[in-house]
Amino acid sequence: MRIKLILCPVDFSEFSIRAYRHALSLAEHYRAKLLVLHVVELWRYPYADYAATAGDYANFRQALHQGGMEQLQKFVTNYHHDGIQPELAIHEGRARDTILSFAKAQKVDLIVMGTHGRRGFDRLMLGSATDRVMREAHCPVLAVCQPSRNSVAAGEKGLYAHHLSRILVCTDFSENSERALDYAISVTEEYDAELTLMHVVEEVPRRDTTEEAVAASTKQLERLIPTEKRKTLKIRTVVRIGKPYQRIVEFAEQAQIDVVTMGVRGAGALDRAVFGSTTYRVIQLGPCPVLTVHV
């Protein structure tokens, strides 16, 4: 995984702060350029359409853009990094559409976004922006909800050091999972970390015992590990029985995982069900950021 350009959309919330800190540390580690985007959503101000004159409306738009840029400059200054000079951008539109189009136009390699945690309105917030970005972006998306244990710590001069020691990649043996594994291996090599391949057996076939199901899945996991990587990387496999998101969150907490990598399917109706029941809940309930990858 080559990361030369990182995009971090911000809405100035505490979740944006967490995401921005991750983006800073990743930009430093990969020596990448960082783009920081704020989206002005005029649709949130329906009364503006009733402005007395076209001039009033134009002034209103200009004020929103100018205020957004000033707030963005202040945001970056408050969480500055001596080695990183981010490029700032203000665009107008719906957040999800604007982020996707901007990321594609700029050919970014990674999007880092904050999500709104466990709160009741989070499903609406995640579904309206982060959800779609993760399912439709041309590049991987790092969703930051809960701050991972000791993975980001302020160092000297306010720099942020992003330490990735334990990486978890979850697989259902699909094509999406294979691509997620490729990215997980790349990050593991980059940080000299430990990689865990995990599969959750939701239902044990009637013809098999639990031990037989676990053994069969373990063999499948072993076959996924490239031969040349067995000698150079610290890799282990784990098989659990139960509800996928529950077992993944449980293991991530127990093993003190720094980042979970998961594959996601496109933007179809089936994907919404799969995404909502597994990846979404891991992002919402898990103890660390989640790197989502889709084909």
> For every one of its 295 residues, what pLDDT tens digit does the chain have, with 9 covering 90 and above?
789 999 999 988 888 898 999 999 999 999 999 999 999 887 666 565 555 565 677 787 888 889 989 999 999 999 887 778 999 999 998 888 999 999 999 999 999 998 865 544 444 444 457 777 888 899 999 999 865 444 444 444 444 556 799 999 999 888 778 889 999 999 999 999 999 999 999 888 777 788 999 999 999 999 999 999 988 999 999 999 999 999 999 999 999 999 999 987 655 544 444 445 688 888 888 999 999 997 6
Specify which residues 200 forms β-bridges with: 240
Give the torsion sign (CA, 74, 79, 83, 87).
negative
Pairing of strands 152-154, 160-162: antiparallel
165-294 maps to which CATH number? 3.40.50.620
Q: State if pTM tops 0.75.
A: yes
81: its two tokens: 């990094």
Q: How far is CA 141 from CA 6, 213, 227, in A?
A: 10, 32, 28
User: 167-180: buried (b, 16+ CB within 10 Å) or exposed (e) per residue?
Assistant: bbbbbeeeebbebb
Question: Do the domains 5-144 and 165-294 sit in the same CATH topology, yes or no?
Answer: yes
Pick one of 3.40.50.12280, 3.40.50.2300, 3.30.1950.10, 3.40.50.620 as the CATH number of 5-144.
3.40.50.620
- Record the tokens describing residue 121, joined without a space: 């309105």
Q: Given phi > 0 = left and psi -120 to 50 = alpha, else beta, which region is 40?
A: beta
Tell me the domain boundaries of the chain.
Answer: 5-144, 165-294
Q: Are residues 11 and 99 in contact, defined by beta-carbon separation less than 8 angstroms?
A: no
